[in-house]
Structure 1
Amino acid sequence: MRLPARLAAARTPTRPLRAVPVGVQGAFALALTAQLLWYGFAPTPSSERHALPPAPPVSLLRVSAFGEPAALARAGTLWLQYFDQQPGHSVPYRELDYGRLRAWLDRWLMLAPTSEYPLSLAVRLYGQVSDPSRQRIMLDFVHEAFLEDPGARWRWLAESTLLAKHRLEDLDLALRYARDLAEHTEGMDVPYWARDLQILLLEDMGEYEAARILIGGLLASGEIEDPREVRFLERRLEALSQGE
């Protein structure tokens, strides 16, 4: 049966293989052979764990950023966050070199000082590992970062204070953080619960007299204008007096 002329014209003509130039056939054969050899002799993906490399100088990272340090910091922080996910392995955080980890977090924070991502990772991810020495490294990193910019980073030191109290059970360290938090944020727009953490810690440590003196000094200074904070301090002072 013959096809209609319109359909016959639309058919794509098929040429025999011998019509293809010899050079084209040879190039195709070489490309196919090279591809087969590549897959046949290529090394299998390594399943060996890789250690976290040392952090380079921040000056080198700035040069590598090509004028976009914040963008490099975001990409670098993501790379660091997922470094534990390696081909064939999931590396536990407690097996990472926390000295190098801290250095990387510090580099990314220096490139993007307004970013809170490195501080968040330090407190909420790496600081949660069940290893006190590694936790202390992360808390110390957050504490130093806070001292550089208390007004923007107070919340991370507040979380570090609670972490030191409840996870490390180190009330002395928690109190040191709480005192720095109160001292370095004086006059700033910081909620009173954060500034007054030291009062609760003094109570937990049984330092009731010190807590009363601190509260009395805060109330007498006249610097506290928030009525909610005043009521909180007055209730704490009354509770301490009744407890005695």
Structure 2
Amino acid sequence: MATMIAHDKRGFDFARWGLPALLILMLVCNIAFWTQARHARTTWGNVPPVPSERGAIIAMLGDAQMGYRVYGLMLQNLGDIGGRITNLAQYDYTALKDWFFLEDTLDSKSNYIPALAAYYYGATTKHDDLTPVIDYLEVIGQRPEPQKWRWLAQAVFLSRYTQNDLVRSFDLATKLANLSTPDMPAWTRQMPAFILVARGEKEAAYDILMGMLQNDAEKMDPAEIRLIRDWICDKILTPAQAATHPVCTSIPGG
């Protein structure tokens, strides 16, 4: 019996041979798995369906502000998964619009989501997709709170200079000019005239700008007055008309 025990002690040494063998086997299995799975990539299912307002709040344990921030971060980083970045042209902008308005129900005063919509998602190269963004900014930009008007101004910019839609941009510019928010600068009321010039309707643009000079010049910054004069003299009037027009000849050096 003692001889058998002594033999067992001289038998297979697991700590010396078994453990290294097990580690080598695990390494071989890991390499085999990697060779089969290394080309697999996480697939992106595009913009997820938007929940209801009630469902969104319940998911955040009744905290609307936490929901606004969590969903906002989700929208900010949406599509950036698996070490890859998704081109903005691949996003479903109709679904994004639903998310923007959901966020508005959670916090209508914050400018975080409007800024994300205007300056981030508004940079897409697929210009037709911008319509849902413009629709959203149009609604937000007509709010009476300070600085909300700038989102409507951004909608005008996207419609006019990115989509080159002179009809929609004029409608938006007219809404912007008709706002009565106290902190709006004078150039916001000039926007319809600028678009009318682009449409070739120079007489209507002239009437708008001249009306501003005649009625509001005392309340305007000198730089804004010079801008209006430049538009009248350089873009609306012909050189012959500008040479004799009082607005143009009153400019020093004009």
Question: What secondary structure does 1:147 align onto?
Answer: coil
Cα deviation per residue 1:110-167 (whole Å; 9 max; x = unaligned)?
A: 2111211111111111122122221111111111222244643111221221222221
1:47–1:236 distance in 2 versus 1, CA, 3 Å: closer
Could you state the TM-score of these two structures normalised by the residue count of structure 1?
0.71
Equivalenced residue count is 204
Q: What residue number does 1:102 align with?
A: 97
CA distance in 2, matches of 1:101, 1:187: 28
Select the residue among 160, 165, 181 that pairs with 2:160: 165
The one of 116, 125, 128 equivalent to 1:130 is: 125
Q: Residue in 2 aligned with 1:29?
A: none
CA distance in structure 2 between the partners assigned to 1:207 and 1:213 by the alignment: 10
Q: Distance in 2 between matches of 1:187 and 1:50?
A: 41
For the pair 1:201 / 2:171, whether they are aligned, the reply is no
Q: Which residue of 2 aligns with 1:174?
A: 169
Q: For residues 238 and 95 of structure 1, what CA distance do their matches in structure 2 show?
A: 44
Question: What is the rounded CA distance, in whole Å, between the counterparts of 1:187 and 1:138 in structure 2?
Answer: 22
Q: Within 1, Cα distance between the matches of 2:217 and 2:105?
A: 34
Residues 52-201 of structure 1 mapped to structure 2, 5 A cutoff? 52-66=47-61, 68-87=63-82, 89-149=84-144, 151-184=146-179, 186=180, 188-201=182-195
The separation in 2 between residues aligned to 1:62 and 1:147, in whole angstroms, is 26
Partner residue of 1:226 out of 214, 217, 220: 220
Q: CA separation in 2, counterparts of 1:94 and 1:231?
A: 39
Structure 1 portions without partners, runs of 5+: 1-35
**Alignment partner, residue 44 of structure 2:** 49
Q: Which one-letter code corresponds to 1:112 in the other structure?
A: D
Contact 2:50 2:98 in 1 (8 A): yes
Q: Do the aligned residues in 2 keep the contact of 1:49 with 1:89 (CA within 8 Å)?
A: no
Report SS of the residue matched to 2:43: coil
For the aligned residue pairs, the C-alpha RMSD in angstroms reads 2.9
Contact 1:47 1:89 in 2 (8 A): no
Q: Which residue of 1 aligns with 2:18?
A: none
**Shift in Å, 1:95:** 2.0
The one-letter code of the counterpart of 2:103 is: W
Residues 1:101 and 1:166: Cα distance change in structure 2 (over 3 Å)? same
Other-structure match for 1:28: none
Contact 1:165 1:171 in 2 (8 A): yes
Partner Cα separation in structure 2 for residue 48 and residue 227 of structure 1: 54
Q: Matched residues, percent identical?
A: 23
1:62 maps to amino acid: I
Stretches of structure 2 that go unaligned for 5 or more consecutive residues are 1-25, 242-254
| Aligned residue type for 1:160 | A
**Separation (CA, whole Å) in 1 of partners of 2:195 and 2:53:** 38
Question: Is the contact between residue 93 and residue 129 of structure 2 (CA under 8 Å) also seen in structure 1?
Answer: yes
* Alpha-carbon distance, 1:188 to partner: 1.8
1:211 to 188, 191, 205: 205
